[in-house]
Amino acid sequence: MKNKYALIGEKLGHSYSPAIHNMVFEKLEIDGEYSLIEVAHDNLIEVVKNLRGGYLSGINITIPYKTDIMEYLDEISEEARQIGAVNTVISRGGRLTGYNTDYYGFKMIISKLNLEIKNKKNFICGAGGSARAVIKCLDDLGGKNYLVTRDVKKARVNFQNFKTLNIISYDELKNISEKNLIVNCTPCGMHPNIECSIINTEGKKEYQAGIDLIYNPQKTRFLEGFEVGENGLLMLIGQAIKAEEIWQEREISENDTQEIYEKIKELVYKK
């Protein structure tokens, strides 16, 4: 019998998740099935019942349920608890455990670029859910981290569990020296608004590297001008790979991950 997995969200549109997970099933010779399930808020409990009852072995969660799902879980991993969001759930005999694999996906980008984070000043732009996973990852790597946002007051309330995080405005950002990494966690630059960039070309020279969580277009306006930079496609694939490692309880090799990354890159950018 096939093990069934799914991505749940309110409106899913086009997603590359099934393609990524199906490649993993093929690689690991797993009899698995991955589907997209659009769920109205009132029906979230039905998904939970399907997990507890064994109809679903595991799920990924996207907007707007990454926080809502947490109240239904028996256990939450340390990184997901501090991030305040869960994007992967496994059912072990009806007992549900939640994780945040966005954290691991972002960490893959840091490793690929071979970036030094410890004791360096890193800047995370945007105060949404994805920023939380990025901050937690950079915190664990020992960075001196700054959240850059238009609404400092609101962010101080929403991010108060990150005790060492500095929260600043875009104006304050201009006055800080010795900048290391800047990460775009905002929708600025995403289709159709592709001319948008949170910082100008001149400002980019102050940083050692730039990472944009947007992966379409392949090279955003934000990424133009950085000598060291990466878009968010590896994070998308990395979080899916980590979810599969949790579900299958086995490691997926770097070679297999790289091969899946190259295939998805080809699929997304048609190159």
CATH code for the domain of 175: 3.40.50.720
The answer to whether residue 105 sits within a structural domain is no
Rounded Cα gap, residues 67 and 61, in angstroms: 9
**Cα(132)–Cα(147) distance, integer angstroms:** 10
Domain identity same for 242 and 223: no
Range of the domain at 59: 3-100+234-269
Coil, strand or helix at 70:
helix
Give pLDDT tens digits along the chain (271 positions): 689 999 999 988 889 999 999 999 999 999 999 999 999 989 999 999 999 999 999 999 998 899 999 999 999 999 999 999 999 999 999 999 999 999 999 999 999 999 999 999 999 999 888 899 999 999 999 999 999 999 999 999 999 999 999 999 999 999 999 999 999 999 999 888 899 999 988 889 999 999 999 999 999 999 998 999 999 999 999 999 999 999 999 999 999 999 999 999 999 998 6
Instruction: Please indicate, yes or no, if residue 36 is contained in any of the structural domains.
Output: yes
CATH number, position 91: 3.40.50.10860
Report yes or no on 57 lying in a domain: yes
243 and 207 together in one domain: no
| pTM strictly above 0.85 | yes
CA distance 21 to 4: 11
pLDDT value of residue 23 = 96
- How far, in Å, CA of 234 to CA of 257, rounded? 10
Alpha helices in the chain (DSSP H): 17-28, 44-52, 78-83, 102-113, 129-140, 152-158, 170-173, 201-204, 233-248, 254-269
Residue 243 and residue 209 in one domain = no
Which residues is 184 bridged to in the sheet?
Answer: 125, 212
Asked whether residue 200 is domain-assigned, the answer is: yes
Confidence at residue 257, expressed as pLDDT on a 0 to 100 scale = 96
Could you tell me which residues come within 8 angstroms of residue 220 by beta carbon, excluding any fewer than 6 positions away? 184, 189, 190, 194, 197, 212, 214, 231
CA-based nearest residue to 216, from 10, 16, 9, 1? 16
How many domains in the chain? 2
In a domain, 193, yes or no: yes
What is the number of other CB atoms lying within 10 angstroms of the CB of residue 168? 17
Residues 175, 122 share a domain: yes
The answer on 140 and 45 residing in a single domain is no
Residue 69 and residue 142 share a domain: no
Gap between the Cα atoms of 137 and 183, Å rounded: 12
pLDDT (0 to 100) of residue 271: 63
Q: Is residue 49 part of a domain?
A: yes
Is 181 found in the same domain as 127?
A: yes
Q: So what's the pLDDT on residue 192?
A: 84
Examine residue 176 and state whether it is found in any structural domain, yes or no: yes
Say yes or no: 123 and 211 in one domain.
Answer: yes
Active site residues: 66
Distances (CA, A) of 99 to 50, 143, 206, 224, 228: 18, 22, 35, 33, 30
Note whether 65 and 131 are same-domain residues: no
> Are 204 and 261 members of one domain?
no
Residue 58, domain member (yes or no): yes
